Structure 1
Amino acid sequence: MSECGTLKEKQSTQDMKQEGTVLIVDDNTDILIAAKLLLKKHYQQVLTTDNPFDIEAQINTQQIDVILLDMNFSQDAISGKEGFYWLQKIVAQDPSIVVLLMTAYGDIQLAVDAIKAGAADFIAKPWQNDQLLGAVAAAFAHAKDKQQVGKLTRQTQGLNQALNQSGGHQFSFLGQSPAMQTVFRTIERAAQTDANILITGESGTGKELAAHAIHQASMRHHNAFISLDMGAVSESLFESELFGHKKGAFTDAKSDKVGRFELAHQGSLFLDELGNLPLAQQATLLAALQNRQVTPVGGSKAISVDIRLICATNDNLQQAVDEGRFRQDLLYRINTIEIRLPPLRERAEDIPLLVDYYLAHFCQKYKRQLEVNPMDMQSLQAYPWPGNVRELAHAIERAVILSESEYLDISTVINTAARPSPSTDSKGRDNTQITDTFNLEEIEQRTVRAALKHYQGNVSSAAKALGLTRGAMYRRLDKYNL
């Protein structure tokens, strides 16, 4: 037979083997050899050790599915106490591993006790080959089921954590100005592909809302949308957040954790404020994007991932590249399509639409009925909104809480002295100007005073409306002599 034919046969035999790892633990070398010769024909990896103290290290360094564990080592020849001890250690370290206990001194009661202690089956030595193969095959099937349940549980926990951290998706992505219509058309075209998208724009322009809109318009909309604020992730937890970790990988790794890449599998992964990522971590991210694989911290097995990547930043990444703060190759990878969100001051015609939307939302939330005076709407449109849509939304919420009449009190939205207000001198000339009144203490004092007035001096109600504890409220009352 030719060398080529021999290689093909070996490859075919390897391909027929079931994926997975079996660990055989027995102090009898003959048993280890016999079991390995039998099982290696059917499974891709068969490990052996004659020392049960090696089990912990093997589990930490290998993805083990099934363990064949002898019940009797040096301390006691027939009772099986050692086997039960190591069984409990294995179950505590990794409950997904399926354990088959082996002994030459088997009886029915010992088998029953083994099953109760967490073993999947009990094998008497010497075994029949067919019996052992059947037991190991059943153990592998059980292991895969346990691993799938464990994975789904971790994914559910990870999804809940991700949603809690992001606060959920609450608002709509709105606009009718020409600038926003251009954004919507770009999103509509880009969303139908799997191209990586970079969303740029000032803070508060709605980059996460745009990312949600892209996901909802894509073919992946039935799957998860997972987000992560890169500016909020410490360097030490970067890989754990993105790629996950194995139990024991570091001090606080009390259990396995599924990373954001894996949570977003077949869905969309949104990385916000990407410009905050240090260079060393940029290289790690680039490798994951290129290979479409991630390896959990403390793990040895790479996990294939299929994601649609959406990134956002308020930084000028090309300038960051020129300054050596951002990798050129990573920028090429993430911005197949770039979408710039205009600041609110560049689309003032959208302000009435946004005010009406947020007013309706917060009136429903706080059970109020309010309108906006047309003259006040002009003032809202004239205000520059340095915090963009986010500032507008928070300002409308505050005004809904504090307004005392049927009209929205925009003095709680825009500092009266800070917003443009038409005035005339004795000759009728327009003296409109903006005075610097962004003093935080003055704004806080006025807001606390307005809340107390609105709730007729009820400190508890005013504190609740302001999002303060009673203690924090009393400290402010003392500070401002209110």
Structure 2
Amino acid sequence: MQLKKASILVVDDDTDVLTAVRLLLRPQVKEIVTEKNPENIPSLLKQQSFDVILLDMNFASSINTGNEGLFWLKKIKSHKSEAAVIMITAYGDIDLAIRSLKEGAYDFVVKPWHNEKLLSILTNALDGKSKGANTPAPAEKPTGMGAELLGESDVMQDIFYKISKIAPTDANILILGENGTGKELIAKAIHQHSLRAAKPFVKVDVGALTESLFETELFGHKKGAFTDAREDRAGRFEAANKGTIFLDEIGNISLHQQSKLLSVLQNRQVIRVGANEATDIDVRLLCATNVTLAELANESRFRKDLVYRINTVEITVPPLRKRGNDIVLLAQHFSKIYADKYMKPAPELAKSAMEKLKSYHFPGNVRELQYAIERAVIMADTDVLEARDMLFSPIEAAPAAEALQQETNLEELEKATILHVLEKHGGNLSRASIELGITRTALYRRLSKYGL
């Protein structure tokens, strides 16, 4: 069906939204009806039929859970309406919006939207109705998302769909997940599908920056600002101007560093070390951490105002052990890559190998699977990989953690804990002291005490 012939109902308690949609659609469609009160939906459906219904997910601002939208979606479906329902949602309700698709919604649109995007969604919904489809095709990985970002599991399909919705916006994204789950790939996919895709994508491992390097690396410096500052240098934020900056391991920076970062994000300006004047910046911010959101909410470790600033939308990347058959899918993908790399025939995975992979818990996630498959391809004597070829990384065996479980002497426990955390962070004292919950000075004293 053509947009010009469509009758559309918009239900939202925000008069500004109703006015904006009415102004946009009045020249585009046959009829547009707007309604503030969702209680009137049943009577409206009895009076006439609609081709598309745009339905807000939140009507009671004091509740703001999205459940109102799901309730009225079910009511619309119970009236046997053939209208394609498109949910209107805010950034924070994207997970609920994805759930609404499983409840029968055709699609959802995120406020504030680009008008072209809304018109495209409406056109697709009307095309779907013409073909007899009540819901869109299952979520697929957006084109060009990166070969390693594979997944057929429900959790990954939801992530792909969420990426396709939030990438075109300028929302700040916090990517959560264990080490090795592919957080950087998610960040790159968001950038590649954003309106900034032609501009720079700049990655910074902020957790590895020392206090002295943090400011000059991120914000730049003027010539003569310190001993080795022989020329003016732009920081990473300036390098990412008009594009995307990805701050990895954001959960491991100190409170002092957090304060500096928050100031830049609030003011949208950087001041190079040694300079007086500020430089305006226009960047889209993506952050990632293996720290849980609950840990980030601990104000003794992380500023809550910074959490809100970086977390307009969050994406939680699932560990590999929760992705089911994706393990085999990824294993087959990596086996082809490494067969090409080492000029060997592409091997098959025997059933025994698949079962061994699926039963393993993969503490190192996709990164560990990649290691295991590369090793298997190198060592294999045949073009079939058996269970015996699947050997897992000794790095993930965590001997220090096992020692902690067996040791009962208090000082030995402390020594083993410090060793374990230092190994985990590659000897980085700042990150180790943060995880241990002590100052760098206190950590130095313990290192001296135990001769480490």
SS state of the match for residue 301, structure 1?
Answer: coil
Residue 257 of structure 1: CA displacement?
2.0
1:138-287 matches, within 5 Å, as: 172-287=148-263
Work out whether residues 171 and 209 of structure 1, in 8 Å CA contact, stay in contact via their aligned partners in 2.
no
Residue 439 of structure 1: CA displacement?
6.3
1:407 and 2:384 matched: yes
Show the counterpart of 1:316.
Answer: 292
Show the counterpart of 1:378.
Answer: 355
1:303 and 2:279 matched: yes
Could you tell me which amino acid in structure 1 is paired with residue 333 of structure 2? Y
Q: Looking at CA atoms only, which structure, 1 or 2, has the larger radius of gyration?
A: 1
Which deviates the most, 199-208 or 393-402?
393-402
Residue 256 of structure 1: CA displacement?
2.5
1:390 and 2:367 matched: yes
SS state of the match for residue 254, structure 1?
Answer: coil
Q: Deviations over 1:185-225 (max 9, x none)?
A: 11111111100000001111110000001011111111111
Residue 356 of structure 1: CA displacement?
1.1
Could you tell me which amino acid in structure 2 is paired with residue 214 of structure 1? I
Show the counterpart of 1:18.
Answer: none
SS state of the match for residue 172, structure 1?
Answer: coil
SS state of the match for residue 322, structure 1?
Answer: coil
- Residue ranges of structure 1 left out of the alignment (5+ in a row): 1-168, 419-435, 441-482
Show the counterpart of 1:125.
Answer: none
Work out whether residues 207 and 312 of structure 1, in 8 Å CA contact, stay in contact via their aligned partners in 2.
yes
Rounded to whole Å, the distance in 2 between the matches of 1:437 and 1:180 is: 27
Residue 368 of structure 1: CA displacement?
1.3
- Residue ranges of structure 2 left out of the alignment (5+ in a row): 1-144, 401-452
Residue 175 of structure 1: CA displacement?
0.7
Rounded to whole Å, the distance in 2 between the matches of 1:210 and 1:171 is: 12
Residue 359 of structure 1: CA displacement?
1.0
Q: Deviations over 1:328-386 (max 9, x none)?
A: 10001010001101111111210111011111111111111122212211211111111
Count of equivalent residues: 254
Work out whether residues 270 and 309 of structure 1, in 8 Å CA contact, stay in contact via their aligned partners in 2.
yes
Rounded to whole Å, the distance in 2 between the matches of 1:170 and 1:393 is: 15
Rounded to whole Å, the distance in 1 between the matches of 2:355 and 2:209 is: 41
Rounded to whole Å, the distance in 2 between the matches of 1:415 and 1:278 is: 34
Could you tell me which amino acid in structure 2 is paired with residue 399 of structure 1? A
Pick aligned residue for 1:346 from 310, 314, 322: 322
Which deviates the most, 371-380 or 249-258?
249-258
Rounded to whole Å, the distance in 1 between the matches of 2:221 and 2:376 is: 45
Rounded to whole Å, the distance in 2 between the matches of 1:288 and 1:382 is: 46
Q: Deviations over 1:208-249 (max 9, x none)?
A: 000001011111111111001111111110001111112221
1:33-44 matches, within 5 Å, as: none
Residue 267 of structure 1: CA displacement?
0.7
Residue 173 of structure 1: CA displacement?
1.2
Could you tell me which amino acid in structure 1 is paired with residue 383 of structure 2? E
Rounded to whole Å, the distance in 1 between the matches of 2:392 and 2:369 is: 13
Structure 2 CA distance for partners of 1:199 and 1:372, relative to 1, 3 Å:
same
Could you tell me which amino acid in structure 2 is paired with residue 393 of structure 1? Q
Show the counterpart of 2:334.
Answer: 358
Rounded to whole Å, the distance in 2 between the matches of 1:297 and 1:438 is: 41
Rounded to whole Å, the distance in 1 between the matches of 2:163 and 2:308 is: 19
* Alpha-carbon RMSD: 2.3
Could you tell me which amino acid in structure 1 is paired with residue 166 of structure 2? A
Could you tell me which amino acid in structure 1 is paired with residue 193 of structure 2? A
TM-score (norm 2): 0.53
Show the counterpart of 2:34.
Answer: none
Could you tell me which amino acid in structure 2 is paired with residue 269 of structure 1? I
Which deviates the most, 367-376 or 329-338?
367-376
Rounded to whole Å, the distance in 2 between the matches of 1:302 and 1:308 is: 19
Rounded to whole Å, the distance in 2 between the matches of 1:410 and 1:368 is: 19
SS state of the match for residue 205, structure 1?
Answer: coil
Show the counterpart of 1:293.
Answer: 269
TM-score (norm 1): 0.50
Work out whether residues 243 and 258 of structure 1, in 8 Å CA contact, stay in contact via their aligned partners in 2.
yes
Rounded to whole Å, the distance in 2 between the matches of 1:329 and 1:240 is: 23
Could you tell me which amino acid in structure 1 is paired with residue 223 of structure 2? K
Q: Deviations over 1:128-163 (max 9, x none)?
A: xxxxxxxxxxxxxxxxxxxxxxxxxxxxxxxxxxxx
Rounded to whole Å, the distance in 2 between the matches of 1:208 and 1:407 is: 32
Residue 300 of structure 1: CA displacement?
2.2
Work out whether residues 356 and 390 of structure 2, in 8 Å CA contact, stay in contact via their aligned partners in 1.
no
Rounded to whole Å, the distance in 2 between the matches of 1:411 and 1:259 is: 49
Work out whether residues 399 and 409 of structure 1, in 8 Å CA contact, stay in contact via their aligned partners in 2.
no
Q: Deviations over 1:169-194 (max 9, x none)?
A: 98531111001011111111111110
Could you tell me which amino acid in structure 1 is paired with residue 217 of structure 2? E
Rounded to whole Å, the distance in 2 between the matches of 1:393 and 1:438 is: 19
SS state of the match for residue 297, structure 2?
Answer: helix
Residue 414 of structure 1: CA displacement?
2.4
Question: Percent identical across equivalent pairs?
Answer: 51
Work out whether residues 146 and 189 of structure 2, in 8 Å CA contact, stay in contact via their aligned partners in 1.
no
Could you tell me which amino acid in structure 2 is paired with residue 392 of structure 1? L
Rounded to whole Å, the distance in 2 between the matches of 1:233 and 1:278 is: 10
Could you tell me which amino acid in structure 2 is paired with residue 379 of structure 1? K
Structure 2 CA distance for partners of 1:321 and 1:333, relative to 1, 3 Å:
same
